[in-house]
Amino acid sequence: MSYLGLGVQPPQTSLGRMLFEAQSYLFNAPWYAIFPGVTIIIIVLGFSMISEGLRERENRG
């Protein structure tokens, strides 16, 4: 939600705020956007894999 401006305010850090602020540096320093973006992808995939594992475990037992 921080990416849309609805989350935490600027003194606090968040991945969405980091992505939002990295847009202005995208052509000069793309790693400002790559690292928070990859971190968000890893977090989402991790939760997805955990939930899938829990669902499979529930269906077995």
Q: Any idea where the domains of the chain sit in the sequence? A: 2-60
What confidence category does residue 11 fall into, taking pLDDT thresholds of 50, 70 and 90? confident
Nearest to 39 by CA among 22, 55, 57: 22
Instruction: Give whole-number Cα distances, 21 to 13, 29, 33, 50, in Å.
Output: 11, 12, 8, 30
Angle (CA) 49 55 60, round 5°: 125
Are 12 and 30 in contact, with CB atoms under 8 Å apart? no
% residues pLDDT > 70 (the chain): 90
Separation CA 58–CA 56 (nearest Å): 5
Give pLDDT, residue 45: 97
